[in-house]
């Protein structure tokens, strides 16, 4: 497919997915904030993805969820996202499991809630407490109600003093859950790095998850996948949009997610112009082909 989309110019307006999708072989679509809010699906977004697939394009869901992709399929079904809306799922948890598997002899401490423990399945590492760890697999806060990461200062300082390497399975800083913002693993990992700890980030915006996306796309098409044939959709500037910019994909920004307060509703013309200018200045070289408040078909 010849890729012939042009970046947004000064005549900024909201762009429905139907005006973009014919220029691509498929989509790399974020999940939380784009197709659900942590409790229920966005029906218009689901409709847009179903229409994309009905038109012969594929949809790869690419998420910073710190769990194995097999756990996301039933979660989406519970939220009301039908299987017809996507072809396959890639999680940062999948990437993390591969990174940890490369160091099978290191004693491992899992820093995160019990619901994320499936990421430990199949790993050969001995699972230990914090004082005996040489490797930390970070999936999120131990308590979803925390509002600041400094509650973990003493624990993270102990890890730093013991030269524990951290692998962060979810680079997201925050996520919108219903009407409130929830701290994610990325905030903890950044704090650990500020304390002097060593951190490896899996998932967006790092290259590994995009390399896997290209492999999946090639499998779906039966031929090599070109970056220009894939459109990255997301609501997170430091993850989805930076990932697109750093890894050479066109981007479609959904402003109604975690940056809703920052930009306001984009159906207000001045807000859309300011948002696009902000994004282009923040990510030099990014090909931003569309913006919207919520993912919709028309």
Rounded Cα gap, residues 197 and 186, in angstroms: 14
Question: In degrees, to the nearest 5, what angle opens at C-alpha 174 toward C-alphas 168 and 178?
Answer: 130
Helix boundaries (H) for 162-206: 185-194
Model confidence at 144, in pLDDT bands (50, 70, 90)?
Answer: confident
Q: Is residue 37 assigned to a domain?
A: yes
**Do 194 and 99 belong to one domain?**
yes
pLDDT at position 147 is 80
Res. 3: pLDDT tops 60: no
Spatial distance between the Cα atoms of 191 and 185, rounded to a whole number of angstroms: 10
* pLDDT band at residue 175 under the 50/70/90 scheme: confident
Domain limits at 160?
A: 95-201
Q: In the prediction, which pLDDT does 5 show?
A: 58
Does one domain contain both 159 and 182? yes
Of the two residues 242 and 148, the one the predictor is more confident about is 242
How far is 33 from 234, CA to CA, in rounded Å? 8
Separation CA 130–CA 241 (nearest Å): 34
**Given 201, 235, 257, which residue is the final one in a domain?**
201
Q: Is the pLDDT of residue 181 over 50?
A: yes
- Whether residue 260 lies inside any domain: the answer is yes
Residue 76 has pLDDT above 70, yes or no: yes
Residue 255 has pLDDT above 90, yes or no: yes
Q: Which two tokens stand for residue 213?
A: 């996306």
Q: At what angle do helices 153-161 and 185-194 cross, to 10 degrees?
A: 50
Question: Which two structure tokens, joined as six digits, stand for 130?
Answer: 């914090």
Judged against a pLDDT cut of 60, whether residue 146 lies above it is answered with yes
Q: Where are the beta strands (DSSP E) in 42-173?
A: 58-63, 88-91, 108-111, 135-138, 165-168
- How many domains, in total, are found in the chain? 2
**Digit-coded pLDDT (tens) for 86-114:** 999 999 999 999 999 999 999 999 999 99
Q: pTM higher than 0.85, yes or no? A: yes
How crowded is the C-beta side of 236, counted as CA atoms within 13 Å?
24
Q: How far is residue 160's CA from residue 190's CA, in Å, rounded to a whole number?
A: 13
Say yes or no: 248 and 285 in one domain: yes
Instruction: Determine what percent of the chain is predicted with pLDDT higher than 90.
Output: 85
CB under 8 Å to 268, separation ≥6 — which residues? none
């Amino acid at each position: 497919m010849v890729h012939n989309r042009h970046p947004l110019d000064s005549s900024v307006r909201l762009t429905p997915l139907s005006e973009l999708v014919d220029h691509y072989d498929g989509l790399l679509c974020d999940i939380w904030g784009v197709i659900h809010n942590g409790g229920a699906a966005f029906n218009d977004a689901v409709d847009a993805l179903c229409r994309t697939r009905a038109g012969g394009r594929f949809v790869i869901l690419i998420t910073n969820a710190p769990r194995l992709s097999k756990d996301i399929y039933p979660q989406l079904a519970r939220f009301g996202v039908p299987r017809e809306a996507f072809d396959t799922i890639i999680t940062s948890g999948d990437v993390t499991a591969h990174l940890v598997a490369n160091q099978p002899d290191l004693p491992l401490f899992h820093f995160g809630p019990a619901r994320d423990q499936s990421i430990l399945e199949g790993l050969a590492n001995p699972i230990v407490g914090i004082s005996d760890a040489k490797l930390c697999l970070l999936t999120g806060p131990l308590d979803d109600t925390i509002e600041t990461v400094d509650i973990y200062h003493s624990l993270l300082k102990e890890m730093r003093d013991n030269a524990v390497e951290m692998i962060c399975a979810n680079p997201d800083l925050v996520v919108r859950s219903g009407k409130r913002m929830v701290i994610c693993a990325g905030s903890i990992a950044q704090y650990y790095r500020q304390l002097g700890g060593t951190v490896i980030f899996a998932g967006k915006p790092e290259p590994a998850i995009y390399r896997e996306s290209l492999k999946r796309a090639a499998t779906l098409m039966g031929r090599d996948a070109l970056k220009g044939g894939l459109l990255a959709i997301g609501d997170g500037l430091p993850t989805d949009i930076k990932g697109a910019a750093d890894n050479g994909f066109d981007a479609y920004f959904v402003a109604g997610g975690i940056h809703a307060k920052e930009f306001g509703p984009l159906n207000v013309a001045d807000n859309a112009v300011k948002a696009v200018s902000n994004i282009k200045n923040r990510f030099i070289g990014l090909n931003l082909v569309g913006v919207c408040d919520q993912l919709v078909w028309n």
